[in-house]
A and B are shown apart, each in its own frame.
Chain A
Amino acid sequence: MIWSWEYAFEVLPELLAAFAVTLEATLAGFALALVLGLVWAIARMAPLRWVSRTASAWIELVRSTPLLIQLYFLYYVLPEYGLTLSPLVIGVFALGMHYGCYTAEVYRAGIEAVPRGQWEAARALNLPRRAVWLRVVLPQAIPPTLPVLGNYLIAMFKDTPLLAAITVMEMLQTAKLIGAGSFRYLEPLTITGVVFLVVSLAASSAIRLLENRHAVRR
C-alpha cells in the first residue's frame, strides 16, 4: 500500500488552514466579479456607441485569454507603476476581473429577459434613469440569474489554485510544498482533490435547490 493514513492525518490540519485562504480568495474575488460584471453589463448596453463597443471588446478579450497570463500580467506590471500589493490581493483582483466578464454576460441575459413593457411603463411613469434601473429592471433581472451566477462561483473556486503561480499559499501550493518537503505527493494532493470535490458537489446541489425553489415560485 502506497497510501499512508498516518501521514495523511499528519498533513491534514495544515491543508485545511490553507483551504481558508482558498475560500477567502474565492469569496472576495466573486464579490468583485459581481460588482464589475454589473458595470460591464450596463456599459455594454449603453446608448453611447463607443462605450458599448469598448465594453464588449474588453469582455471578449478577457474571456478568450488565459487567467494565468492575466495573473502574471498584474503581478509583474502593477509594481512597475509603483503599486505594490500582496499576491493575494492581486489574485483576488485578477479573479474578479476575469469572472466579471462572465457575470457581465449573465446579467445581460437577465436584463434582456425583462419585458420591454417594463421599460416603457417605467418611462411612462417619468421615473428618473436611476430608478428605472434600481427599482424596476434590476430587481426583476437578477433573481433568475442566481443559479447561473452560482455556477460561476464554483468555477472560480476551482480556478483559485492558479494563485499558486503568483506565490499565494493557498491549498494546492501548500500541498505541493508539503510534497516537496517529504517527497510524498500522493496524500496531500489527493486530500486537496477530495476537498475540492466535496465542496463543489455540495455547492452544486445547493444551486440545484435554489433553481428548484425559483421554478416553484413562478
Chain B
Amino acid sequence: MAFLQTHLPALLDGLRTTLQLTVGGALLAAALAAVAGLGRRSPRRLCRWPANVYVEVFRGTSALVQLFWFYFALPLFGVSLPALATGVLVLGLNSGAYGAEVVRSAIAAVPAGQWEAARALQLDERQALFRVILPQALPMMLPPAGNLLVELLKNTALVSLITLSELTFTAQVQRAATLETVPLFALTLAIYFAAAQVLLAGVRRLERHVTRHRRGRA
C-alpha cells in the first residue's frame, strides 16, 4: 500500500503525458492516413508521388531514428520544437504512414461495382467517395486501426529517450531514486496494459457504432 502511495501519483502523472502523446499522435495520424491513403489511389501523379514517398520513408525507417532526427537534426534548419510537440509530430507521421495503407486497402476492398453503380446514378466522384465508398470502407478500417492505436501507445515510450517525462521516463526516474525495480516496472507494465485494453474497447465500441445499420436499427 505504501508502495502504491509513493509511486502511483507520479506514474499517473506520467500516464497523462503518455495519453496526450497518444491522442495527439492519433489525431495527426488519422488526418495523414486519410490524405496519403487517398493520395496513393489518385490518378494524378502529382498527388500519388508525394503520398508514396511519405509512406515508404516513414514505414521504411525506424520510429526511434525518426524521433532522433526530428529532435537533433531539425533545429539545424531553424525549426526547434519542444519534446512534446516533436513526439506528437513523429508519432503522428509514423503511424499515419501505416494508417495510409489501412485506408488504401480498405477502399480497394470495396467492390468495383459500387463505383460503377454510383457513376450510373450520376453521382460525381466526390459524392461517390463520401456517400458510397467510405461508409463501406470505414468498418473495414477499424480493426487494423485499433491495432495501430495500440502500437502508437507502445511507441510513446520512445519519447522518454528524448527526455520527455511520460510514463516510461517517470518509471525510470522513480527506479533510480528507490531501486524498487521489480514492483515499479511491473506496475508500469500493468498501467500500459490497462491503457491498451481501454483503447481497444473504445475501438470495438466505435466499430459497433459504424456497423449499426447492418443489424437493422439504423
When C-beta atoms are compared, the residue in chain A nearest to B189 turns out to be: A65
Q: Which of B38-46, B71-79, B121-129 contacts A (4 or more CB under 8 A)?
A: B71-79
Tell whether, in the assembled complex, residue B192 and residue A172 are in contact, meaning their CB atoms are under 8 Å apart.
Answer: no
**Which of the residues A73, A159, A165, A179 comes within 8 Å of B161, measured between beta carbons?**
A165
Contacts of A165 in B (CB 8 A): 161
Contacts of A80 in B (CB 8 A): 181-182
Report which residue of B61, B155, B160 has the largest number of chain A beta carbons within 10 angstroms of its beta carbon.
Answer: B61
Considering the chains assembled together, what is the distance between the CA atoms of A175 and B66 in angstroms? 13
Contacts of A162 in B (CB 8 A): 64, 158
Considering the chains assembled together, what is the distance between the CA atoms of A197 and B55 in angstroms? 11
**Which of the residues B57, B157, B189 comes within 8 Å of A197, measured between beta carbons?**
B57
Tell whether, in the assembled complex, residue B61 and residue A172 are in contact, meaning their CB atoms are under 8 Å apart.
Answer: no
Tell whether, in the assembled complex, residue B193 and residue A61 are in contact, meaning their CB atoms are under 8 Å apart.
Answer: yes
- Please report which residues of chain A, range 12-38, place their CB below 8 angstroms from some CB of chain B when the two chains form the complex: none
Q: Which of B81-89, B131-139, B168-176, B209-217 contacts A (4 or more CB under 8 A)?
A: B168-176
Contacts of A64 in B (CB 8 A): 150, 154, 192-193, 196-197
Interface residue count on the A side (C-beta < 8 Å): 37
Tell whether, in the assembled complex, residue A189 and residue B185 are in contact, meaning their CB atoms are under 8 Å apart.
Answer: no
Q: Known: A66-B157, A66-B168, A201-B60. Contact between A193 and B69, CB under 8 A?
A: yes
B13 at the interface (CB under 8 A from A): no
When C-beta atoms are compared, the residue in chain A nearest to B194 turns out to be: A64
A148 at the interface (CB under 8 A from B): no
Tell whether, in the assembled complex, residue A66 and residue B154 are in contact, meaning their CB atoms are under 8 Å apart.
Answer: yes
Tell whether, in the assembled complex, residue B154 and residue A158 are in contact, meaning their CB atoms are under 8 Å apart.
Answer: no
**Which of the residues A66, A69, A164, A204 comes within 8 Å of B155, measured between beta carbons?**
A66
Contacts of A2 in B (CB 8 A): 76-77
Q: Known: A68-B158, A76-B175, A189-B73. Contact between A158 and B182, CB under 8 A?
A: no
Considering the chains assembled together, what is the distance between the CA atoms of A164 and B59 in angstroms? 20
Give the shortest distance, in Å, between A161 (CB) and chain B (any CB).
4
Considering the chains assembled together, what is the distance between the CA atoms of A72 and B119 in angstroms? 56
Tell whether, in the assembled complex, residue A65 and residue B196 are in contact, meaning their CB atoms are under 8 Å apart.
Answer: yes
- Please report which residues of chain A, range 132-173, place their CB below 8 angstroms from some CB of chain B when the two chains form the complex: 158-162, 164-165, 172
Give the shortest distance, in Å, between A188 (CB) and chain B (any CB).
9
Considering the chains assembled together, what is the distance between the CA atoms of A197 and B172 in angstroms? 31
**Which of the residues B62, B168, B181, B185 comes within 8 Å of A196, measured between beta carbons?**
B62
Q: Apart from A61-B193, A80-B182, A196-B60, what are 9 other A-B pairs with CB-CB below 8 Å? A: A66-B156, A68-B158, A69-B171, A70-B189, A73-B181, A165-B161, A172-B62, A176-B68, A197-B60
Q: Give the 3 A-B residue pairs with the shortest CB-CB distance, closest first.
A: A66-B157, A64-B196, A185-B72
10 A-B pairs (CB sep. < 8 Å): A68-B168, A70-B189, A73-B181, A76-B181, A77-B181, A80-B182, A158-B61, A172-B62, A189-B72, A193-B62
